[in-house]
Structure 1
């Protein structure tokens, strides 16, 4: 009869090996983009979680314990950056890691009877941020132009989220049937499955997933990449796409979707996704459309004749449903708010117009 302790040791060893291999692969790249080292940090925390769970209530060291607890926050940061193409995390996105660390610190200094409630609160916190990851993965599924990542969104997010949710449910005392099992052994096999699954998924397509997006932070040219071969059908689709975006300006439509655009150019949706991603370099449909909108916004905001038109009116005319998404997209591409951009662009416009027309500014003193 197989010893359960031996089975657990094998399962946890497999999990540690899989997490270590994936983390090393991410960290070994010469181009260590932020998403790579955040991913490597997550797998370090995952290894710590495997070791911490192995010891049951006896934590091997405070460092291992701290890394295990904060791993939930690091998972959130890694997953959100992965799904939203955020090459450099904004400062506020580190908050879940700090909150998780705060739970650990509170548990270290609190008596056992208080720790019970701290860990229940931590379980609720973990479940909440994992649910948020699932929402982000689902919300961006339609607009994702990277086919490999699009196919991985659901299984990758669901597997990791499922583990955290099951773990949180057990910590909260529900369901009783799960708690009746050997929790440590069940956790070991779940972690082994997650480790192997994550390793196979990420290592096969990791350059497409964690490389810094070229389309974030600056507008991409919509000129096709000549190095890639095009079939006559692809060329026809690109011509129709360029006509729809440049002449017809379909990007002004608030409800424009990849499916609607595919119908307009008469192409299958999967072909259009492949062309916009592979030929035009965009990883996300919203970013592709917003690149046109922001380019038009910069022209409108710099036009002195439109100085009386509000920023929100310009945003609505360009297809944005509300001012918030417009401000975020504009700032992501230009590094400035629309109002600041307008103020800087229009600062010298009146003086420039006077110089060009030869007029004299009001109240200026003419030389004798």
Structure 2
């Protein structure tokens, strides 16, 4: 009875996942949603490969499914970066972690490699450590970047996306670590399969039937305005008078450009809203809708990079170390500064100074 029910749950979940993949893949702008497609595939692969019969460990044709199941933590981490931080790059450390996930999965699965039991156990431990690293990193970054997210509908959706999927993923991995080397009870397998089925079905219904625009919330182009979802997801009062927005933007521009608040490395949405004497949700809306930024760090770094660009091109600052210029402009450390600079100018600060190239100046002047 349990085996039959287990098979029905897994086949049903795989069918829902296939429909989900077809809906996302056939919709307009599917390339922007490639990371969601990857996550769905990995979830379906895990659903199938976690069966008590272990179908992904018996024959070479199932190797892609095994790789998909093993890659779920990476797919989750990747989706979190793209959806919540508008970050599309993959670091060398992440590539290394993915390689560790895949190689250790092959070493752990029976019938693929003839290795000792000790080596197999070590590989299983390494696999779980890498998986925990990806999921934990995604949750940490989601929590850390939540305050600076200016796209209100996305701020709300991340609670479900990261809270439910991430915490559930940690619970599953904790169970796998606890039962390392042994099969979990049949009832636990059934609960796990049912939970995955329910998640896939609920997500499909949410995106396709209940909140079709939620897909655009997560995967819209970088500078899309939050106003596309205002009728569905935003309930805060909005400024009725356009001239009031202009006055607030003028005050904001004075604080940033004249008072140079961006030089404070700890500047946050809350601090800037307090200095401007406006509610936080109004500040978020203004920066997002009027100035085109989806996160607060991007907005503040625009001012910092503009100051650094000017000084790198000014002969009187030639002898000042670049790191000093970055710290004076408000960057807390060299890592975030180098990444932001390279992302904007396509070269390192040292190359920029040496070439004397004038980069684009994009600090919002609309205020």
Q: Is residue 2:314 matched to residue 1:317?
A: no
Q: Is residue 2:158 matched to residue 1:153?
A: yes
TM-fit CA distance, 1:91: 5.5
d(CA) in 2 for partners of 1:274, 1:69 = 40
Equivalent residues in 2 for 1:229-244, closer than 5 Å? 231-244=242-255
- The alignment partner of 2:21 has SS state of helix
TM-superposition CA deviations, 1:245-286 (whole Å, max 9, x none): 233222122221111111122211011111211221111100
Structure 1 segments of 4+ aligned residues over 6 angstroms from their partners: none
Equivalent residues in 2 for 1:103-142, closer than 5 Å? 103-107=104-108, 108-111=112-115, 113=117, 114-142=119-147
Equivalent residues in 2 for 1:82-97, closer than 5 Å? 82-90=83-91, 92-97=93-98
d(CA) in 1 for partners of 2:63, 2:219 = 30
- The alignment partner of 2:55 has SS state of coil
Residue in 2 aligned with 1:296? 307
Residue in 2 aligned with 1:102? 103
Cα distance change of structure 1 residues 321 and 202 upon mapping to structure 2, 3 Å threshold: farther
Equivalent residues in 2 for 1:275-354, closer than 5 Å? 275-345=286-356
Q: Is residue 2:271 matched to residue 1:260?
A: yes
TM-fit CA distance, 1:85: 0.8
Q: What are structure 1's unaligned runs of at least 5 residues? A: 216-227, 348-368
Q: Is the 2:97–2:130 Cα contact (8 Å) retained in structure 1?
A: no
Q: Is the 2:48–2:55 Cα contact (8 Å) retained in structure 1?
A: no
Q: Is residue 2:216 matched to residue 1:207?
A: yes
The TM-score normalised by the length of structure 1 is: 0.80
Residue in 2 aligned with 1:168? 173
Choose which of 23, 26, 48 in structure 1 pairs with 2:24.
Answer: 26
d(CA) in 1 for partners of 2:53, 2:248 = 59
TM-fit CA distance, 1:88: 4.4
CA RMSD of aligned residues (A): 2.8
The TM-score normalised by the length of structure 2 is: 0.80
d(CA) in 2 for partners of 1:132, 1:214 = 26
d(CA) in 2 for partners of 1:346, 1:291 = 18
- Equivalenced residues, count: 330
d(CA) in 2 for partners of 1:258, 1:330 = 22
TM-fit CA distance, 1:184: 1.9
Q: Is the 1:56–1:184 Cα contact (8 Å) retained in structure 2?
A: no
d(CA) in 2 for partners of 1:135, 1:101 = 23
Q: Is the 1:156–1:198 Cα contact (8 Å) retained in structure 2?
A: no
Q: Is the 1:258–1:269 Cα contact (8 Å) retained in structure 2?
A: yes
TM-superposition CA deviations, 1:322-357 (whole Å, max 9, x none): 22221111111111111110111179xxxxxxxxxx
TM-fit CA distance, 1:230: 5.7
TM-superposition CA deviations, 1:15-48 (whole Å, max 9, x none): 3344334433433344344x52122122112111
TM-superposition CA deviations, 1:288-313 (whole Å, max 9, x none): 01011111211110111110111112
Q: What are structure 2's unaligned runs of at least 5 residues? A: 225-238, 359-367
Q: Is the 1:52–1:68 Cα contact (8 Å) retained in structure 2?
A: yes
